[in-house]
Amino acid sequence: MTGIARPPVVELTGVVKRYAGGVRALDGIDLTVRAGELVGIVGPSGSGKSTLLHIVGTLDRPTTGTVKIAGHDIAALSDRRLSALRARHIGFVFQAFHLASGMTAVENVAEGLLYSGLPRARRRRLADEALGRVGLADRRRHRPHELSGGQKQRVAIARAVVGQPDLLLADEPTGALDSTSGETVMELLHTLNAEGSTIAVITHDTEVADRLPRQVRIRDGRVVADTTLGKVVA
């Protein structure tokens, strides 16, 4: 008996996003990301990649077009159900870390499970395990001001993956880091991908993008290239 094929983690068809004044931030985006991929969404400032991040992350809805996340059509979901889908299926990593200053590393990571329905002790255990995955088991009781920039980003990554989401969205994950810390974070993302995580890295940095096995290049709200290992994919 053959197994049932899993739907793509991300499936966008004809996605348009218009803002006041008729400005098209996205202009007919088709994009599919399958389970286990590590993909860079690359473009200069104003290209539409941040809008695409918000659409893929279900933080915003398209003007027209279809968005499916882990097989769920977001147009069919109420705001409440969409929030639940986001909490279950998507993990976010941002350039600015967004860690709570008064909380320890393990408490910050456990926050990623706040709406999971799990008991507090279980959330703590999973947070400890996630910190171990990112190499910070010995920093679990440190607060953000006691951590380096690279360590803060690794805590943020642990928080994003602690619930085992279908998709990890990393928005300029090395943008606030020095080159050494940035290298460590990129190595971690590659390791997590090798362990099975599906990851999309949103970046304007071509050096970061060139290290990723697939690049989707955005300009003027359109996909202008989709490459795998340097080859253009139809």
* DSSP secondary structure of 123-134: HHHHHHHHHHHT
CB-CB neighbours of 13 under 10 Å = 14
In the numeric block, the tokens 């473009």 are attached to 43
Q: What is the pLDDT of residue 1?
A: 45
In degrees rounded to 5, what are phi and psi of residue 17?
-130, 115
Q: What is the pLDDT of residue 234?
A: 47
Domains in the chain (CATH in brackets) are 37-50+88-232 (3.40.50.300)
Question: Which residue, among 102, 104, 103, has the nearest Cα to 142 in the 3D structure?
Answer: 104
Q: What is the pLDDT of residue 6?
A: 81
8 Å CB contact between 208 and 178: no
3-class DSSP state of 7: coil
Q: What is the pLDDT of residue 3?
A: 56
Q: What is the pLDDT of residue 228?
A: 77
Contacts of 79 (CB under 8 A, 6+ apart): none
In the numeric block, the tokens 């949103």 are attached to 202
Q: What is the pLDDT of residue 114?
A: 85
Q: What is the pLDDT of residue 20?
A: 87
3-class DSSP state of 223: strand
- In this prediction the pTM is 0.92
* 73's tokens: 């059509």
Compute mean pLDDT per 10 residues along the chain, 234 residues long, and list them.
Answer: 75 95 92 96 93 96 96 94 92 94 96 87 95 95 96 96 95 93 94 95 93 95 84 53
Q: What is the pLDDT of residue 118?
A: 87
Instruction: Answer positive or negative: Cα dihedral of 130, 134, 136, 137.
Output: positive
